[in-house]
Amino acid sequence: MTHASDRRPIWDLFCHVIDNWGDLGVCWRLAVNLAARGQRVRLWADQPEPLRWMAPGALDGAHPDIEVRHWPRTDPDAPPPALPAGDVLVEAFGCEIAPAWVRALQPDPAPGEPARVWLNLEYLSAEPWVERSHRLQSPVMGGPLAGRGKWFFFPGFTPATGGLLREPDLIEQRDAFDPEAWRARHGIATCDGAPVVTLFCYEPPLLEELLRQPTLRGAHWLVAPGRPEAALARAWPAGLTASRHALPHLPQPEFDRLLWSSDLNLVRGEDSLVRALWAAQPFVWHIYPQHDDAHHLKLEAFLDWLQAPPSLRAFHRAWNGLDAGPLPAPDLVAWRDCARAARDRLLAQDDLATQLLRFVAEKR
């Protein structure tokens, strides 16, 4: 990957896997997007193991332009790697890298060499302050990295932000997709016309209430493993006339197709929210809860950008505990129209990888 004759830029992308794998999922998608645009990527993760199911072959070098490396984040004595210098250093979601590692991977350029770029790729939010903070630089005032500057790059939903991850041919794949054939390949028989619902959530208190909704009578519930499967088992009412399909961990392309195949997608976190937007099917976002309730403002800002109809806004507020409930009946027609309109607005903007490459070119 780092052969001396290969002059393509090297990106060092660092990921601290906090929980639920979404941060690693975002970083892998970004690595793939960058590699597809002619970049070389060293993906450093403190817990890279979930890539075995998320991106089969990733840990075994299946992608020629992506190298996955273990990041000994919690070891303060871990020596920095002896590798060729990188061109771009990305701290995903504000993870902090030891100064010695920054210096090893981004030494001061020799005379005549392009500048190296150090980025903090931030969390996704629709809050107004994101547009004001996007592309700002923060100088390091002291310590071994004094004099350097780190740029803040914010993904987002508007043209004044960094955009969202989107593969160049994603919409063409989506338009050519056959949902019934995909479900049949996975042994999911849904020929009775009942709604198909994907459940990828935390532990929503109103899940049992949703299961009893007449709109979803007889639904086929496609359930992700782990917390969603456990939550559904606890909430499942006795005698409910619906079916459960326990899913295995799916590779990322298959997870996308799962969302394409469903009439309602109940998603969580950041990565699956973005993929639900590209799916352009009715969806509800279970936002990651924060102890100081900061997620309330974040959810409201997203619903404002989404131009959510009243029923979808009320459902989100109840589902996420902002209101006591009850849940309004899902209006799948209105919610689908809203999702498609949002997808179309996003398609008019450049994707995240394209914007990152343009930004780095400006700074070098």
- CB-CB contact of 284 with 267 (8 Å): yes
With a pLDDT cut of 90, the percent of the chain lying above it is: 86
Asked if residues 179 and 260 have their Cβ atoms less than 8 Å apart, the reply is yes
Find the mean pLDDT for residues 240-257.
Answer: 95
Answer yes or no: CATH 3.40.50 is held by domain 170-347.
yes
Average pLDDT over residues 97-123: 93
Summarised one tens digit per residue, pLDDT across range 182-222 is: 999 988 877 788 999 999 999 999 999 999 999 999 999 99
Q: At what angle do helices 271-279 and 332-347 cross, to 10 degrees?
A: 100
Enumerate the domain spans of the chain.
10-163+349-363, 170-347
User: Residue range 78-89: average pLDDT?
Assistant: 96
Tell me: pLDDT of 342 over 70.
yes
pLDDT in tens, 219-244: 999 999 999 999 999 999 999 999 99
Q: How large is the angle between the packed helices 352-363 and 22-36, nearest 10 degrees? A: 70
In the sheet with 66-70, reading across from the earlier edge strand, the strands are 66-70, 40-45, 10-15, 88-92, 117-121, 149-153, 136-139
- CA torsion sign for 300, 304, 305, 308 is positive
Catalytic residue selected from 65, 122, 263, 270: 270
Is residue 23 annotated as part of the catalytic site, yes or no? Answer: yes
Is 100:143 a contact under the CB 8 Å cutoff? no
pLDDT of 52: 97
Q: How far apart are CA 135 and CA 133, in angstroms?
A: 6
Q: What is the pLDDT of residues 131-143, one digit of tens each?
A: 999 999 999 988 8
- Tens of pLDDT, residue by residue over 15-45, are 999 877 889 999 999 999 999 999 999 999 9
Q: What is the pLDDT of residue 5?
A: 56
pLDDT at 293: 84
Question: Residues 349, 354, 360, 364: is their CA dihedral positive or negative?
Answer: negative
Q: Would the pTM count as exceeding 0.85?
A: yes
What strands, in cross-sheet order, belong to the sheet with 283-286? 243-246, 220-223, 196-199, 264-268, 283-286
Is 270 tagged catalytic?
A: yes
- pLDDT at position 144, please? 87
Determine which one of 12, 23, 256, 263 is catalytic: 23
Per-residue exposure over 83-95, b if at least 16 CB sit within 10 Å of its own CB, e if not: eebbbbbbbbbeb
